[in-house]
Chain A
Protein backbone atom coordinates (compact mmCIF):
# COMPACT_ATOMS: atom_id res chain seq x y z
CA UNK A 1 0.00 0.00 0.00
CA UNK A 2 2.70 2.41 0.98
CA UNK A 3 4.75 1.60 -2.11
CA UNK A 4 1.83 2.34 -4.36
CA UNK A 5 1.64 5.78 -2.82
CA UNK A 6 5.32 6.42 -3.17
CA UNK A 7 5.83 5.23 -6.76
CA UNK A 8 2.62 6.30 -8.44
CA UNK A 9 1.93 7.13 -12.08
CA UNK A 10 4.52 9.71 -13.08
CA UNK A 11 7.67 7.73 -12.45
CA UNK A 12 6.36 4.66 -14.26
CA UNK A 13 4.84 6.50 -17.19
CA UNK A 14 8.17 8.09 -17.98
CA UNK A 15 9.90 4.76 -18.04
CA UNK A 16 7.07 2.94 -19.75
CA UNK A 17 7.29 4.96 -22.92
CA UNK A 18 11.04 4.36 -22.81
CA UNK A 19 11.99 7.82 -23.92
CA UNK A 20 13.78 8.75 -20.71
CA UNK A 21 16.80 6.76 -21.89
CA UNK A 22 17.15 9.20 -24.75
CA UNK A 23 17.52 12.04 -22.29
CA UNK A 24 20.09 10.08 -20.29
CA UNK A 25 22.07 9.42 -23.47
CA UNK A 26 21.93 13.09 -24.46
CA UNK A 27 23.15 14.17 -21.04
CA UNK A 28 25.96 11.61 -21.08
CA UNK A 29 27.13 12.93 -24.45
CA UNK A 30 27.05 16.53 -23.20
CA UNK A 31 28.92 15.53 -20.08
CA UNK A 32 31.47 13.53 -22.09
CA UNK A 33 32.02 16.61 -24.26
CA UNK A 34 32.62 18.85 -21.25
CA UNK A 35 34.99 16.33 -19.65
CA UNK A 36 36.87 15.88 -22.93
CA UNK A 37 37.27 19.67 -23.13
CA UNK A 38 38.45 19.87 -19.51
CA UNK A 39 41.03 17.12 -20.05
CA UNK A 40 42.37 18.87 -23.16
CA UNK A 41 42.66 22.13 -21.23
CA UNK A 42 44.34 20.33 -18.34
CA UNK A 43 46.92 18.75 -20.68
CA UNK A 44 47.56 22.02 -22.51
CA UNK A 45 48.22 23.82 -19.25
CA UNK A 46 50.56 21.02 -18.11
CA UNK A 47 52.47 21.41 -21.37
CA UNK A 48 52.88 25.15 -20.91
CA UNK A 49 53.94 24.61 -17.32
CA UNK A 50 56.66 22.21 -18.50
CA UNK A 51 57.84 24.67 -21.14
CA UNK A 52 58.04 27.43 -18.53
CA UNK A 53 60.05 25.22 -16.20
CA UNK A 54 62.59 24.46 -18.95
CA UNK A 55 63.05 28.05 -20.09
Chain B
Protein backbone atom coordinates (compact mmCIF):
# COMPACT_ATOMS: atom_id res chain seq x y z
CA UNK B 1 0.00 0.00 0.00
CA UNK B 2 1.81 3.02 -1.35
CA UNK B 3 -0.47 5.59 0.26
CA UNK B 4 -0.67 4.03 3.73
CA UNK B 5 1.37 6.86 5.25
CA UNK B 6 -1.17 9.40 4.01
CA UNK B 7 -3.95 7.49 5.74
CA UNK B 8 -1.79 7.35 8.85
CA UNK B 9 -1.40 11.14 8.70
CA UNK B 10 -5.17 11.62 8.59
CA UNK B 11 -5.82 9.13 11.40
CA UNK B 12 -3.19 10.71 13.63
CA UNK B 13 -4.53 14.21 13.04
CA UNK B 14 -8.14 13.22 13.69
CA UNK B 15 -6.89 11.75 16.97
CA UNK B 16 -4.95 14.96 17.63
CA UNK B 17 -7.99 17.17 17.10
CA UNK B 18 -10.29 15.06 19.27
CA UNK B 19 -7.86 14.22 22.08
CA UNK B 20 -6.15 17.61 21.82
CA UNK B 21 -9.34 19.37 22.84
CA UNK B 22 -10.98 16.85 25.11
CA UNK B 23 -8.20 15.11 27.04
CA UNK B 24 -7.40 16.49 30.48
CA UNK B 25 -4.26 18.62 30.54
CA UNK B 26 -2.18 20.04 33.39
CA UNK B 27 -3.60 23.39 34.44
CA UNK B 28 -0.65 25.76 34.75
CA UNK B 29 -0.69 29.43 35.65
CA UNK B 30 -0.59 31.80 32.64
CA UNK B 31 -0.72 28.90 30.18
CA UNK B 32 -4.11 27.53 31.29
CA UNK B 33 -5.99 25.92 28.37
CA UNK B 34 -3.50 27.35 25.88
CA UNK B 35 -1.21 24.48 26.83
CA UNK B 36 -3.21 22.64 24.15
CA UNK B 37 -1.45 24.81 21.58
CA UNK B 38 1.42 22.39 22.09
CA UNK B 39 -0.40 19.96 19.77
CA UNK B 40 -0.99 22.54 17.05
CA UNK B 41 1.36 25.51 17.22
CA UNK B 42 4.48 23.56 18.14
CA UNK B 43 3.70 20.90 15.51
CA UNK B 44 3.85 23.60 12.82
CA UNK B 45 7.47 24.27 13.71
CA UNK B 46 8.36 20.58 13.82
CA UNK B 47 6.86 20.17 10.36
CA UNK B 48 8.79 23.19 9.12
CA UNK B 49 12.07 21.88 10.51
CA UNK B 50 11.49 18.43 9.05
CA UNK B 51 10.88 19.84 5.59
CA UNK B 52 13.97 22.00 5.89
CA UNK B 53 15.99 18.97 6.91
CA UNK B 54 14.72 17.09 3.85
CA UNK B 55 15.62 20.15 1.80
CA UNK B 56 19.13 20.29 3.26
CA UNK B 57 19.67 16.62 2.47
CA UNK B 58 18.71 17.13 -1.16
CA UNK B 59 20.79 20.29 -1.48
CA UNK B 60 23.86 18.45 -0.25
CA UNK B 61 23.07 15.59 -2.64
CA UNK B 62 22.72 18.07 -5.46
CA UNK B 63 26.16 19.48 -4.81
CA UNK B 64 27.56 15.97 -5.08
CA UNK B 65 25.63 14.57 -8.03
CA UNK B 66 24.21 17.58 -9.87
CA UNK B 67 20.92 15.73 -10.37
CA UNK B 68 18.17 18.27 -11.05
CA UNK B 69 15.64 16.13 -9.20
CA UNK B 70 17.46 16.86 -5.94
CA UNK B 71 17.17 20.55 -6.73
CA UNK B 72 13.41 20.30 -7.21
CA UNK B 73 12.87 18.46 -3.94
CA UNK B 74 15.05 20.99 -2.09
CA UNK B 75 13.10 23.92 -3.53
CA UNK B 76 9.61 22.52 -3.03
CA UNK B 77 10.41 21.45 0.55
CA UNK B 78 11.44 24.99 1.39
CA UNK B 79 8.24 26.35 -0.18
CA UNK B 80 6.03 24.16 1.98
CA UNK B 81 8.24 24.77 5.03
CA UNK B 82 7.55 28.50 4.64
CA UNK B 83 3.82 27.80 4.68
CA UNK B 84 4.16 25.90 7.96
CA UNK B 85 6.55 28.43 9.46
CA UNK B 86 4.10 31.22 8.65
CA UNK B 87 1.32 29.27 10.36
CA UNK B 88 3.65 28.84 13.34
CA UNK B 89 4.32 32.58 13.49
CA UNK B 90 0.64 33.53 13.24
CA UNK B 91 -0.54 30.99 15.82
CA UNK B 92 2.29 32.00 18.15
CA UNK B 93 1.35 35.63 17.76
CA UNK B 94 -2.29 34.98 18.69
CA UNK B 95 -1.12 33.05 21.74
CA UNK B 96 1.32 35.81 22.78
CA UNK B 97 -1.46 38.41 22.59
CA UNK B 98 -3.53 36.63 25.22
CA UNK B 99 -0.80 35.34 27.51
CA UNK B 100 1.92 37.99 27.31
CA UNK B 101 -0.39 40.82 26.23
CA UNK B 102 1.30 41.68 22.94
CA UNK B 103 1.18 40.32 19.39
CA UNK B 104 4.96 40.41 19.22
CA UNK B 105 7.71 40.80 21.79
CA UNK B 106 11.47 40.96 21.52
CA UNK B 107 11.80 37.47 22.91
CA UNK B 108 14.82 35.55 21.56
CA UNK B 109 12.56 32.69 20.48
CA UNK B 110 10.32 35.02 18.46
CA UNK B 111 13.15 36.95 16.87
CA UNK B 112 14.94 33.69 16.12
CA UNK B 113 11.85 32.37 14.35
CA UNK B 114 11.56 35.62 12.39
CA UNK B 115 15.22 35.48 11.32
CA UNK B 116 14.75 31.88 10.21
CA UNK B 117 11.71 32.76 8.13
CA UNK B 118 13.55 35.68 6.54
CA UNK B 119 16.54 33.55 5.62
CA UNK B 120 14.27 31.02 3.91
CA UNK B 121 12.36 33.77 2.15
CA UNK B 122 15.75 34.91 0.89
CA UNK B 123 16.24 31.39 -0.51
CA UNK B 124 13.06 31.76 -2.55
CA UNK B 125 14.07 35.22 -3.77
CA UNK B 126 17.55 34.00 -4.62
CA UNK B 127 16.10 31.24 -6.79
CA UNK B 128 13.79 33.66 -8.55
CA UNK B 129 16.68 35.97 -9.37
CA UNK B 130 18.78 33.42 -11.29
CA UNK B 131 17.63 32.36 -14.77
CA UNK B 132 20.17 29.69 -15.57
CA UNK B 133 18.95 26.33 -14.23
CA UNK B 134 22.27 24.85 -13.16
CA UNK B 135 23.59 28.06 -11.72
CA UNK B 136 20.39 28.52 -9.73
CA UNK B 137 20.51 24.97 -8.45
CA UNK B 138 24.14 25.19 -7.35
CA UNK B 139 24.03 28.62 -5.72
CA UNK B 140 20.74 27.97 -3.94
CA UNK B 141 22.03 24.59 -2.70
CA UNK B 142 25.01 26.31 -1.09
CA UNK B 143 22.80 29.03 0.36
CA UNK B 144 20.37 26.42 1.68
CA UNK B 145 23.09 24.93 3.88
CA UNK B 146 23.72 28.37 5.32
CA UNK B 147 19.98 28.94 5.92
CA UNK B 148 19.69 25.61 7.70
CA UNK B 149 22.54 26.46 10.05
CA UNK B 150 20.82 29.79 10.79
CA UNK B 151 17.61 27.88 11.59
CA UNK B 152 19.32 25.48 13.98
CA UNK B 153 21.18 28.28 15.73
CA UNK B 154 18.28 30.73 16.00
CA UNK B 155 15.47 28.29 16.81
CA UNK B 156 17.29 25.36 18.32
CA UNK B 157 20.18 26.81 20.30
CA UNK B 158 20.01 30.50 21.22
CA UNK B 159 16.49 30.49 22.76
CA UNK B 160 17.48 27.55 24.95
CA UNK B 161 20.35 29.40 26.59
CA UNK B 162 19.47 30.58 30.06
CA UNK B 163 21.65 33.65 29.52
CA UNK B 164 19.33 35.11 26.85
CA UNK B 165 16.32 34.38 29.04
CA UNK B 166 13.53 33.58 26.60
CA UNK B 167 10.02 33.66 28.08
CA UNK B 168 8.76 31.09 25.62
CA UNK B 169 7.49 27.90 27.29
CA UNK B 170 10.20 25.27 27.27
CA UNK B 171 12.96 27.76 26.48
CA UNK B 172 15.53 29.78 28.42
CA UNK B 173 15.11 27.74 31.59
CA UNK B 174 11.29 27.91 31.49
CA UNK B 175 9.51 24.62 31.99
CA UNK B 176 8.17 22.90 28.90
CA UNK B 177 5.79 20.05 29.31
CA UNK B 178 8.55 17.72 30.47
CA UNK B 179 8.71 18.76 34.10
CA UNK B 180 4.98 18.65 34.82
CA UNK B 181 4.21 15.62 32.79
CA UNK B 182 6.64 12.92 33.80
CA UNK B 183 4.07 10.94 35.73
CA UNK B 184 0.88 11.08 33.69
CA UNK B 185 2.41 11.41 30.22
CA UNK B 186 -0.95 12.90 29.21
CA UNK B 187 0.59 15.57 26.99
CA UNK B 188 3.12 13.24 25.44
CA UNK B 189 0.44 10.75 24.40
CA UNK B 190 -1.08 13.44 22.21
CA UNK B 191 1.98 15.52 21.37
CA UNK B 192 4.05 12.80 19.69
CA UNK B 193 1.23 11.50 17.46
CA UNK B 194 0.35 15.13 16.68
CA UNK B 195 3.88 15.98 15.57
CA UNK B 196 4.12 12.85 13.43
CA UNK B 197 0.70 13.52 11.91
CA UNK B 198 1.51 17.11 10.98
CA UNK B 199 4.93 16.12 9.61
CA UNK B 200 3.32 13.49 7.40
CA UNK B 201 0.65 15.94 6.22
CA UNK B 202 3.23 18.58 5.33
CA UNK B 203 5.31 15.97 3.53
CA UNK B 204 2.22 14.91 1.59
CA UNK B 205 1.68 18.49 0.42
CA UNK B 206 5.36 18.68 -0.50
CA UNK B 207 5.21 15.49 -2.61
CA UNK B 208 2.22 16.93 -4.50
CA UNK B 209 4.27 20.00 -5.35
CA UNK B 210 7.21 17.90 -6.51
CA UNK B 211 4.97 15.79 -8.75
CA UNK B 212 3.49 18.93 -10.28
CA UNK B 213 7.01 20.24 -10.83
CA UNK B 214 8.01 17.04 -12.63
CA UNK B 215 4.94 17.22 -14.88
CA UNK B 216 5.77 20.82 -15.65
CA UNK B 217 9.34 19.89 -16.59
CA UNK B 218 8.21 17.01 -18.79
CA UNK B 219 5.79 19.29 -20.62
CA UNK B 220 8.51 21.90 -21.08
CA UNK B 221 10.71 19.30 -22.71
CA UNK B 222 7.93 18.29 -25.10
CA UNK B 223 7.51 21.88 -26.17
CA UNK B 224 11.20 22.24 -26.98
From the candidates A5, A20, A35, A45, name the one contacting B211 in the complex (CB within 8 A): A45
Dominant secondary structure of chain B at its interface with chain A: helix
Residue of B nearest to A30 (CB): B17
Residues of chain A contacted by B13 (CB below 8 angstroms): 31
Residues of chain B contacted by A49 (CB below 8 angstroms): 211, 214-215
What number of residue pairs across chains A and B have CB atoms under 8 A from each other? Answer: 54
Whether A6 touches B22, Cβ cut-off 8 Å, given contacts A27-B17, A31-B17, A38-B208, is no
The interface size of chain A toward B, counting residues with CB under 8 Å, comes to 24
Residue of B nearest to A13 (CB): B33
- A1-33 vs B, Cβ < 8 Å mask (1 yes, 0 no): 000011111110011000011011001100100
Whether the Cβ atoms of A45 and B24 lie closer than 8 Å is: no
Whether the Cβ atoms of A27 and B205 lie closer than 8 Å is: no
Residues of chain B contacted by A24 (CB below 8 angstroms): 17-18, 21-22
Residues of chain A contacted by B3 (CB below 8 angstroms): 42
Residues of chain A contacted by B180 (CB below 8 angstroms): 6
Whether A31 touches B14, Cβ cut-off 8 Å, given contacts A8-B27, A38-B205, is yes
B212 contacts the other chain (CB 8 A): yes
Residues of chain B contacted by A14 (CB below 8 angstroms): 33
B25 contacts the other chain (CB 8 A): yes
Whether the Cβ atoms of A11 and B21 lie closer than 8 Å is: no
- A27-55 vs B, Cβ < 8 Å mask (1 yes, 0 no): 11001000100100110010011001000
**Could you tell me the distance in whole angstroms from the C-beta of A47 to the nearest C-beta in chain B?**
11
Residue of A nearest to B186 (CB): A6
Interface of chain B residues 105 through 131 with chain A (CB within 8 A): none
Beyond contacts A5-B27, A7-B26, A28-B18: 10 other A-B pairs, Cβ-Cβ < 8 A, are A9-B27, A10-B27, A15-B22, A20-B22, A21-B22, A23-B21, A27-B21, A38-B204, A45-B208, A49-B214
B10 contacts the other chain (CB 8 A): yes
A20 to B212, CA, bound (A): 39
**Could you tell me the distance in whole angstroms from the C-beta of B219 to the nearest C-beta in chain A?**
8
Residue of A nearest to B9 (CB): A35
Whether A28 touches B33, Cβ cut-off 8 Å, given contacts A6-B26, A11-B25, A52-B215, is no
